[in-house]
Amino acid sequence: MRHHVYFSPGMFGFGRLGSYNYFAHVERELAARFATAGHELIAHVIEDLPTASIRRRASRLAEVVSRTATPADVIHLLGHSTGGLDARLVASPATRSIPSETLGWLPRLRSVTTMNTPHYGTPLASFFTTAHGQRTLAALSMLTVTGLTLGAHPMRATSMILGVLRRGDLSVPFKLLLLDRAIESLVGLVDDARSPEVRTFLSAIEDDQGSMLQVSPESMDLVVASFDDRPGVRYQSTASMAPSPAPRRWVDTIGHPLRALSLSLFFGLHRLTANTDEHYPCAALNGAAPSATEDRLVRAFGRAPTLKDNDGVVPLRSQLWGTLVWAGAGDHLDVLGHYRDDRKDVPAELRHHDWLTSGSTFTHVQFAALIDAIATGMLEG
């Protein structure tokens, strides 16, 4: 049987950027699992608008599915981060914001998989909606792109961004000047890369940051009440949290200044994401998930996660929706296969690369278990 799987990237995300594929590892491993089960997986990576509104992104997803899936094909949606919200909006029976002529395939939809998605919002989005936060968002986006496309972290730019995040006060003109210089430094590196895809990606972030407004805890409080699950469709999720800042996390960075800077940057994001509000806790209304989900969380972490536990971008309890098929220690990008990989006997195109050091020690074993769980859920659906 043929299964079409549509992959939607999230915040800072992209489909393909030059030779870099956001979902490369997930796509390859899922295809292998489907083949082993006697099925064919046809992958479609959505070239999305990285920080545009959920409605705009969902409309693009619906249009791509409508254009590429045939009446005999089974359909699955998989979204990482805000990409999971795109999938949920497209699938929701209550949606009226997407052209109906692009939704004729919905009866063939079998599963919606959300990976580390901010179903109840994230405090990090609230920070990014401020004037200073938008400038930080631009700098971080450029850092992401240059780190992936050039294969290294630009140290000077990274250290400037880090200084701004660690001190927290972005109202001081001198610090904003440092941030502007960081952005200029990264723009220079992007220009050196001579990649039109990179410039298009960065322009899209500057042009529309609607999703940053929409995934704030206050906005998602309303979204949760308006998104319905489609009957007959399997909803499954993955959730992870990264370790809290601790001195022992720095041991592994000795002799690696770029890794140390990246770890510091991650901790800055981690602290911002942990700033939950008691009125908008980024979790289900009663603070607890169904008993089966709570049991899985306790097995994965040895305790019930708190409201402050997060993957550096999204609070863990905000990531829970439908059936929780996998939970473990990892950061926001580890779950996509973007983690440290020191193997020398693996071809470069198959090797994993960790651009954001979090100290999570995510491994190939964890990634294999995560993919197994997602594939099993899709095929059961």
Answer yes or no: is pLDDT of 364 > 80: yes
Answer yes or no: is pLDDT of 252 > 80: no
Sign of the C-alpha dihedral computed for residues 317, 321, 325 and 330 taken in this order: negative
What is the pLDDT confidence band of residue 95, given thresholds at 50, 70 and 90? confident
- Whether residues 66 and 111 share a domain: the answer is yes
Domain boundary among 208, 234, 266: 208
In whole angstroms, give the CA distance from residue 170 to residue 271. 15
Q: Please tell me which residue, 358 or 232, carries the higher pLDDT value.
A: 232
In whole angstroms, give the CA distance from residue 8 to residue 80. 6
Q: What pLDDT is recorded for position 176?
A: 42
**For the chain, percent of residues with pLDDT exceeding 70:** 64
Task: Tell me if 262 is assigned to some domain.
Answer: no
Residues 6+ apart with CB under 8 A from 62: 90, 98, 99, 102, 103
Answer yes or no: is pLDDT of 5 > 80: yes
- Whether residues 109 and 134 share a domain: the answer is no
Q: What pLDDT is recorded for position 246?
A: 64
Q: Could you tell me how many helices (H) and strands (E) the chain has, helices first?
A: 13, 8
- Taking only the tens place, the pLDDT of each residue in 123-152 is 988 777 666 666 666 656 655 655 555 455
What is the pLDDT confidence band of residue 268, given thresholds at 50, 70 and 90? confident
Q: What pLDDT is recorded for position 190?
A: 46
Task: Tell me if 61 is assigned to some domain.
Answer: yes
Sign of the C-alpha dihedral computed for residues 29, 34, 36 and 39 taken in this order: negative
- Whether residues 361 and 225 share a domain: the answer is yes
What is the pLDDT confidence band of residue 216, given thresholds at 50, 70 and 90? confident
> Is 2 in a helix, a strand, or coil?
strand
Domain boundary among 192, 208, 224: 208
Task: Tell me if 14 is assigned to some domain.
Answer: yes
- Name the least confident of 4-18, 275-289, 297-311: 4-18
User: 302: domain CATH number?
Assistant: 3.40.50.1820
Answer yes or no: is pLDDT of 278 > 90: no
How many alpha carbons fall within 13 Å on the CB side of residue 364? 9
Residues shown for the chain: 381
Q: What pLDDT is recorded for position 173?
A: 44
Q: What pLDDT is recorded for position 193?
A: 45
What distances in angstroms separate CA 285 from CA 46, 120, 207, one per listed residue? Answer: 32, 10, 34
- Whether residues 83 and 226 share a domain: the answer is yes
Instruction: Indicate the angle between helix axes 24-36 and 364-380, nearest 10 degrees.
Output: 60
- Whether residues 245 and 358 share a domain: the answer is yes
| Radius of gyration for the alpha carbons in the chain, expressed in angstroms and rounded | 20
Direct distance between the N- and C-terminal alpha carbons of the chain, in angstroms, rounded to an integer: 13
Q: What value does the mean pLDDT take over residues 116-126?
A: 91
What is the pLDDT confidence band of residue 225, given thresholds at 50, 70 and 90? confident
Q: What pLDDT is recorded for position 249?
A: 58
Element (H, E) at 370: helix 364-380
Q: What pLDDT is recorded for position 191?
A: 45
Q: What is the mean pLDDT of the chain?
A: 78
Task: Tell me if 37 is assigned to some domain.
Answer: yes
- Whether residues 157 and 37 share a domain: the answer is no
Q: What value does the mean pLDDT take over residues 70-96?
A: 92
Q: Are the beta carbons of 320 and 239 closer than 8 angstroms?
A: yes
What distances in angstroms separate CA 61 from CA 38, 163, 330, one per listed residue? Answer: 27, 38, 27
Residues 6+ apart with CB under 8 A from 9: 15, 22, 23, 45, 46, 48, 50, 79, 80, 81, 83
Cα angle value 140/167/261 (rounded, 5°): 50
Q: pTM of the prediction?
A: 0.83
Task: Tell me if 258 is assigned to some domain.
Answer: no
Q: Please tell me which residue, 256 or 340, carries the higher pLDDT value.
A: 340
What is the pLDDT confidence band of residue 251, given thresholds at 50, 70 and 90? low
When divided into structural domains, the chain yields a total of: 2
- Whether residues 193 and 222 share a domain: the answer is no
Q: Please tell me which residue, 212 or 126, carries the higher pLDDT value.
A: 126
Q: Please tell me which residue, 97 or 49, carries the higher pLDDT value.
A: 97
Domain boundary among 208, 236, 263: 208
Q: Please tell me which residue, 147 or 274, carries the higher pLDDT value.
A: 274
- Whether residues 232 and 104 share a domain: the answer is yes
- Whether residues 45 and 145 share a domain: the answer is no
Answer yes or no: is pLDDT of 61 > 80: yes
Q: What pLDDT is recorded for position 175?
A: 42
Task: Tell me if 259 is assigned to some domain.
Answer: no
What DSSP string describes 204-227? HHHH--HHHHHTSHHHHHHHHHHP
- Whether residues 377 and 237 share a domain: the answer is yes
Task: Tell me if 40 is assigned to some domain.
Answer: yes
Answer yes or no: is pLDDT of 325 > 80: yes
- Whether residues 100 and 161 share a domain: the answer is no
- Whether residues 41 and 190 share a domain: the answer is no
Range of the domain at 188: 130-208
Task: Tell me if 1 is assigned to some domain.
Answer: yes
